[in-house]
Amino acid sequence: MSKLPRDLVLAVTYNCNSKCRMCNIWKSEPLPVLALSEYEKLPASFKDINISGGEPFLRPDLVDLIKLLVAKNPQARIVISSNGFATELIKAKMQEILKIKPEIGIGISVDGIGEIHDQIRGIPGGFQKVLATIKELKALGVKNIRLAYTAGDYNIDQLYKVYQLSQELGTEFTLAAIHNAENYFNTTDNKITKLEEFRQEFGLLIKEELNTWNVKRWLRAYFAYALYKFLATGKRLLPNYSGQDNIFIDPLGNVYPADVSGHIMGNLKEFNNFSDLYYSKVSQEAISLEKINQNWMMCTARYAMERHAPRVIGWIIKAKIFGVNL
C-alpha cells in the first residue's frame, strides 16, 4: 500500500468577504461547513497544511480547528491563506492561534500595488487593509508572513513590483498563476495569453532568487521556472503525484487529489477514518485518473520536487553558472 498524503490543502469555509475576478466563490449561496468532529478522522501523516477558503478567518471555530490539527500533526508546517481584509478579526484570532502554534504562517494575497489590487479583489481600499493587517501581524510577533501573488494577464506587470514590496516589508513571497476548477474556483474562463510579458516578469524574479545564497530561494526559482514552462507549454516538468503526496478537502468534507481536480476520492462523513476512504476503490481510481492532469501549484509541486531532487539540484547548479533562458 502507498503511504498516506503529506500535503493537505484544507478549505475550511467558502464564505468570503472579497469579490475576486479570478474566483466566483463569493457568488455562491452560503454552504454548511464540516463539523469539527469530522476532522478528527484526518491522519497524522501531514507535513504541510494550508488552511484556505473562502476566507478562513470567517469560520467561527477556526481556533479550535487549528488546535485539533496541531494535536494530530504537531510537526506539520501550517500556513493560513487569507485575503487580509478583516484586520481586527484576524488580529484577535491570531492572538489565540499563536498560543497553539507560535511558528504558524500567514499568506496574505497581494496581486498588485494600490488600486490595482483593489480592482482585482473587488474591495475598495483593500490594499491598505492588507498593509494594516501585515503591520498588526508583525506587532503580534508572527514571523512567517508571506505575500501570495497570483498571476494573470490582467496583473502580470505587477509581479516584480509585489516581489519588491515583499522585500521592503520583510516578508516571504509566494507565486501562483490562475487555474480553472469547477469544484474550487468555480470558473472555467481563466486564461493566460500574454506569454511575452510573463517571460519578462518571471525572468526578473528567477534572476533575483538565484542571485542569493539561500537554498529556499533557489528552490523558489526552480518552482517559478517550472510554472512559466507549464504556462507556456501546458505541461509539467515533473510528474503529478496528486492524491499520493497531496490532497484537497473542501468545506463539505469532499476529498480530491488537488484543489483543481474534478476527481472526488470520497467524503469524510461517509467513512469511519481517513485510511478507509483513502484505500477505497473509488479513491484509488481517482488518484490514478489524476496522474494525467496538468497543473503546477505549490501543493502539487512541493513533493514532486523532493522526489526528483537530483533533477532540481542539477537545474539550480546550471542556472547559477550559466543563467536561465526562458
157 part of a folded domain: yes
Residue given cell 497581494 in the structure block: 110
Cell representation of residue 100? 497553539
Task: Specify if 314 maps to a domain.
Answer: no
Residue 83 lies in a domain: yes
How far apart are the C-alpha atoms of 231 and 236, rounded to whole Å? 9
Which residues span the domain enclosing 296?
Answer: 7-193+239-307
pLDDT in the model for residue 24: 73
Q: How many helices (H) and strands (E) does the chain have?
A: 11, 9
Residue among 8, 50, 51 nearest 33 (CA): 51
CATH number (domain holding residue 32): 3.20.20.70
Number of domains in the chain: 1
Written as tens digits, the pLDDT of the chain (326 aa) is 469 999 999 999 998 888 876 777 767 777 788 999 999 999 999 999 999 989 999 999 999 999 999 999 999 999 999 999 999 999 999 999 999 999 999 999 999 999 999 999 999 999 999 999 999 999 999 999 999 999 999 999 999 999 999 999 999 999 999 877 666 555 556 788 999 999 999 999 999 999 999 999 999 999 999 999 999 999 999 999 999 999 999 999 999 999 999 899 999 999 999 999 999 999 999 999 999 989 999 999 999 999 999 999 999 999 999 999 89
Residues 99, 79: Cα–Cα separation, whole Å = 15
Q: Would you say residue 177 lies in a domain?
A: yes
How far, in Å, CA of 21 to CA of 174, rounded? 19
pTM above 0.85, yes or no: yes
Asked if residue 288 belongs to a domain, the reply is yes
Residue 212, in any domain of the structure: no
**Measured distance CA(66)–CA(72) in Å, rounded:** 10
* Cα 68 to Cα 42: distance, rounded to the nearest angstrom: 10
The pLDDT tens digits of the residues spanning 10-56 come to: 999 998 888 876 777 767 777 788 999 999 999 999 999 999 989 99
3-state class percentages of the chain: helix first, strand second, coil last, to nearest 5 = 45, 15, 40
In this structure, is residue 208 part of a structural domain?
no
Q: Where are the alpha helices (DSSP H) in the chain?
A: 62-72, 87-100, 115-121, 126-140, 159-169, 195-210, 215-233, 274-278, 281-290, 298-307, 309-322
Residues belonging to the chain = 326
Return d(Cα 287, Cα 201) in angstroms, integer: 34
Predicted local distance difference test score (pLDDT) of residue 187: 55
Q: Angle, nearest 10°, between helix axes 195-210 and 309-322?
A: 90
Is residue 321 in a domain?
Answer: no
Mean pLDDT score of the chain:
94
- Whether the bond between 314 and the residue before it is cis, its omega within 30 degrees of 0, is no
pLDDT tens-place string over residues 232-274: 999 999 999 999 999 999 999 999 999 999 899 999 999 999 9
Q: Which of 86, 120, 112 is nearest to 165 (CA)?
A: 112
